[in-house]
Chain A
Amino acid sequence: MAHSVEGRFPFLDSDVMEFCNGLPPLYKLAGLNEKFILKRASKGRVPESIIHRPKQPYRAPDAVSFAEKGAPAYVEEVLSEGALRDAGLFDVGAARGLYEKCRKRAGDAGNELVFSNTDNMGLVGLLSTQLLHREFIRGDGSAPGGKIEYKTLIDRVQFQQLQGTA
């Protein structure tokens, strides 16, 4: 390690992980108060402004993929004036304004396709909400490929543990 940088992430420490796995869910998520026990433990050690800082949203994928040429047809569909009005969740003028701006920036030749983080997260948030509305409020939750099947995935380690307890 003489010539490299080594990243050691305290939250990935196996003892910390094991301890956290044993905690009741309420300690980790108290209502909508996330990282509850971590915030309590950090009190007095970390500035209050950091403990109570609002979450920084990151929504994938990059909004460019929904605004550039060749974007999926459903984008225009769920962000149309009619669909926005039907859902009634967003200010229609503002939502259209954001979408038009992103489309224009993505379409400008020579533009480096940089959306500001605010616009980027805004467009993806808008789009996901409109899609949820279409699928589950107006629709019956069946995806284009058929009804969604919910599965429980168990990895090998868990599987062995389950077998051991059975």
Chain B
Amino acid sequence: MTQDEVRAKVHQFIRKNFLFDEKTPLADDQSLLGSGVVDSTGILELIAFLEETCRVKFEDSELVADNFDSIDKIAAFIMAKLSREKV
């Protein structure tokens, strides 16, 4: 999976699972928590989705807001994690 593919999948999931519509603006660099699109329990839904879709397992220490606060950050974090695991 490329970083663009991860970004697109996450974008689509957030729209479908938290916004429920096609109209509400959703930028890849916007703060998901700050803009209220995803709340603290919503983050858990997002993490469950990422673990299933990207076949990754997060350590507790990785579950910090900074890794998940925007679609761009999530995609970059997943790619870094996947490349570390390959080595």
Do A118 and B36 touch (CB < 8 A)? Answer: yes
Question: How far, in Å, is B6 (CB) from chain A's closest CB?
Answer: 22
Interface membership of chain A positions 84-123, coded 1 if the CB is closer than 8 angstroms to chain B and 0 otherwise: 0000000101110110010000000000001111110000
Question: How far, in Å, is A60 (CB) from chain B's closest CB?
Answer: 18
Partner of B39, one of A91, A94, A117: A117
Question: How far, in Å, is A9 (CB) from chain B's closest CB?
Answer: 26
Contacts of A94 in B (CB 8 A): 19-21
Do B20 and A97 touch (CB < 8 A)? Answer: yes
Secondary structure dominating the interface of A: helix
Do B41 and A91 touch (CB < 8 A)? Answer: no
Do B36 and A97 touch (CB < 8 A)? Answer: no
Q: Kindly report which residue of chain B lies nearest to residue A101, judged by CB atoms.
A: B17
Secondary structure dominating the interface of B: helix
Contacts of A95 in B (CB 8 A): 20
Q: Which residue, of A91, A94, A116, A117, has the highest number of chain B Cβ atoms within 10 A?
A: A116
Do B20 and A98 touch (CB < 8 A)? Answer: yes
Partner of A97, one of B21, B41, B44, B45: B21
Do B39 and A116 touch (CB < 8 A)? Answer: yes
* CB interface residues, A 109-160, toward B, < 8 Å: 114-119
Contacts of B81 in A (CB 8 A): none
Given A91-B21, A116-B45, answer yes or no on A97-B39 (Cβ-Cβ < 8 Å).
Answer: no
Contacts of A93 in B (CB 8 A): 20-21
Q: How far, in whole Å, are A37 and B17 apart by their CA atoms in the complex?
A: 40
Question: How far, in Å, is B40 (CB) from chain A's closest CB?
Answer: 8
Q: How far, in whole Å, are A123 and B19 apart by their CA atoms in the complex?
A: 13
Contacts of B39 in A (CB 8 A): 116-118
21 CB < 8 A contacts A-B: A91-B20, A91-B21, A91-B23, A94-B19, A94-B20, A97-B20, A98-B20, A101-B17, A101-B20, A114-B41, A115-B41, A116-B38, A116-B40, A116-B45, A117-B39, A117-B40, A118-B18, A118-B36, A118-B38, A118-B42, A119-B42
Residue ranges of A at the interface with B (Cβ–Cβ < 8 Å): 91, 93-95, 97-98, 101, 114-119
Residue ranges of B at the interface with A (Cβ–Cβ < 8 Å): 16-21, 23, 36, 38-42, 44-45
